[in-house]
Amino acid sequence: MKHNLLLFSGLFILVVLFSISFISFINLCSAQSSSKIKVGVYYYAWYSGDWSKDHPNCPDTPLLGGYNSSSPQLIANHTKWLNELGVDFIVISWWGIDSPSDKNTKPWFTRAETTPQIALMIEPYDESDDTYNFTAMYDYIYTNYASKSSYFKLYGRPLLCFYNGINLTKNGYVPPDNRFEQRIVGHSDYVQWIYCSFGKFGEYCGITQQKVCMDGEISVIPRLNFDGYSFDKTYALGLYQYEWGNVLNYANSGEVNIVMISTWNEYAERSMIEPTIDTTSAYAYDSYYLFKLTKSYITTLKSPIMTINPAIIAEIGVLTIALVTIAIVLVAAKKR
């Protein structure tokens, strides 16, 4: 009877310890069913439908043809592609009240779809003096865009970006407005989000490689043609793969919250990932080459990841020793 009681007590302790071990494992392991990292892409809504006028020197053509940025069908096609990629939000280049880009941006907020969400980036559209009317811009953007449900929010407030300019973001300053979460983007040494880390852009920022910026933001760019500088125009050097490899490494160490892709459709600088008829690409036979490559990286980035807290290693060791000890005691007791 005494041995049976001892055996029962030992089994009970084993069950309790196993339960504690299992619960600890669940608590100490971080299983992400979906990544919290947001993926954004810079988007340009300045196209009129006359490709020879919009980009007379660009050798590439969108797969959809020389489109008009305000076309509902164009927006529907781009929305479909962006959702297929897994993009969470786009940052539309905005060039002032009643500008063509302003008029072309408004149809984005009439879509039935709520994804991808949208933020605006104010460009330095008039650098002739320092007379930007920030109050008027803020009020206009908030009323017409930022108050909409499809507008992207950072820390609970509408994100409003500014591309660095001599007067727009003079010495790294823009007048604050508490309705917005404001970020300066670009290539000056004071920017908060770096637009591109390579070539002349990188030189302007004073950097030679990718870095994680404010908010855990990091950027990627597939190719660059800017100010007489060209990098990886055929994609043969694998710049894009190299950058995404860095992103995934930073993400695995918990440093990344936002990945910005430069760009969806900036054809003048040839940094577009939109399906394109590309004249210099080593993969010119596949208009979806960059699109598919981007999709594979975003899928990897957002795949469920199981990370184990180092504390669990020590706890498992202690529990294992305890369980083995109890088992030995029970065997000895049964023999007696």
Domain 38-301: CATH class, spelled out: alpha beta
Do the beta carbons of residue 92 and residue 105 sit within 8 Å?
A: yes
What is the average per-residue pLDDT within 146-151?
96
Helix axes 289-301, 239-252, angle to 10 degrees: 10
- Which DSSP symbol is given to 204? H
Place of tokens 């993969």: 283
- Please give the mean pLDDT across all residues of the chain: 84
Q: How confident is the model at residue 29 (pLDDT cuts 50, 70, 90)?
A: very low
Question: What pLDDT is recorded for position 225?
Answer: 86
At 239, the amino acid letter reads L
Question: What pLDDT is recorded for position 35?
Answer: 67
Question: What pLDDT is recorded for position 8?
Answer: 47
Q: How confident is the model at residue 205 (pLDDT cuts 50, 70, 90)?
A: low
Q: How confident is the model at residue 210 (pLDDT cuts 50, 70, 90)?
A: confident
What residue segments make up the domains of the chain, in order of their start? 2-23+310-335, 38-301
Tens digits of per-residue pLDDT, 176-198?
A: 999 999 999 999 999 999 998 87
The residues that bridge with 260 in the sheet, in sequence order, are 40, 219
Contacts within 8 Å (CB) and 24+ apart, 162-166: 162/121, 162/122, 163/93, 163/121, 163/122, 163/123, 163/124, 163/195, 164/124, 164/188, 164/190, 164/191, 165/123, 165/124, 165/127, 166/124, 166/127
What is the average per-residue pLDDT within 246-267?
96
Please state, for a pLDDT cut of 70, what percent of the chain lies above it: 77
Tens digits of per-residue pLDDT, 128-141?
A: 877 899 999 999 99
What is the average per-residue pLDDT within 40-57?
92
